[in-house]
Structure 1
């Protein structure tokens, strides 16, 4: 009788413990989900997941792989770096695992076929020589941004409308053009001291254009410029964003919102990001290195082949099926992803 009683008591305790552990695990999992937004800081602990509902993106903080940052109370020759491993999902499909790094060799990652970028902006706490940081105490701050695929070239002419208030009485106009292919851009700003002034002041800026993130809702063309020659604009950088109707311009410490009078664009070829083991069109990627990709190229013209031919691409090299599709290597993130421009020419159909 005593043995049966003890066995029943032990079983009851096991059931209570199992129930408590299950409730605790469910509560922990529920607490591990953190709502986030695009371009906003995502603060995660190890084991937590952030979800950006507007883009259907989920990011999980798996572990810290390295923290060699110079302690705050020590003088070091090298600043060191910190790295974490994350996993990601886009539209309910796994986008793989990535290592993000801050410090010496900073590393970000691309998601959604190159549509999004993710980077780590901080990892707390910062090391102190006399303290040891337990894994559960780390907090990583991440930022997910949408990458804008700018057009190959843009020409825009804009001016402040005469009805606008607070912006020089409508006496500002701008004309700009840039080409990502040639790496050149020009901005001309015309301004008058008053609406009745007979002459305008002309400011000319020449800049090197680079792809940028859009800050204003509804903008389609976003460009950052590194100023290489300027007559009348202070600083080293400028930023422009263009929608169908509005041009946002930041230059020389001033911000302008201008009405677009003319906008001409020439589209950029589409881009595709591939990881090791992925295929798009004729190319199966097998190895991604620093500035190169190795894989198999599947040719369909003049004769379709079931087996791929070994191929090594460096930046600027092209893989093709011989007819409709061309993939040109743009850049690589070693062992993570490779970015290609993709051109499809349906005027050159492959044979059946």
Structure 2
């Protein structure tokens, strides 16, 4: 059924015919603009094979690792080191390799029971200042040399990488016990092909700050290495590990380590007060009298705190004490404060 023309459209048509002009179309109201849809670009060469939940778990896990590794590295270098997690991304192995400097410190890591190998790359811009610090130098802003590491430098770098592996094992312990070790160290990353170039990897990037120097440290985790354990990387499972109460085995392990710790033990034989002048006049063979009774028990200090009561004696020709019981504050007045300062 045809549309019915309005009066205005009929008049325009007649006027156009009389004047020899083409008829003008009636103005049409403009259609309202359609809202612009948000389009996400998807590259089929780089499929996101690791889920968002697993990526969040990896980010949370390595944030804690960065804090612990920074503290351990600060103790090793005896200077403040800040380790900050900058990103956790998915990309192809070729993109990762071509983004690195050449030469660099390219560590191939075996991580049993995971399949394949992991990669730890330490940028020379931060690695050489740390080597100088290990050798007793200071952190300077001098640009590092662009050369492969020498044998001596590789031995020093192994102390840093071993520290990294120890902290990484602790970070992954709640998910999967790992046995990490460095297989070999390369200087040219483009000559290493442990997985296909288009294989997806998870790149965990850290920024290290030592003094005024900054540099990147990258951990490359191939997807085929963590594919079997991707279910354990979900945030719910990861958090549930942290909420579990301590087992008897873990308590026994911690207790055995504490039992092996060395402590300072000091025994107070007697206490008295003398003037400074009398102390300066002391000579070899002088006797200092005290008011302590010979039958009064001795106080045994452990790390500067009174813990036990004991009596003096000898054992196999050597001076010894026999512990009689635990120290109680009301048993005896203690005025002696042993010096527990350790020599530097």
TM-score by length of 2: 0.17
- Higher strand proportion (structure 1 or 2): 1
- Higher helix proportion (structure 1 or 2): 2
Relative contact order, higher structure (CA 8 A, sep 6+): 2
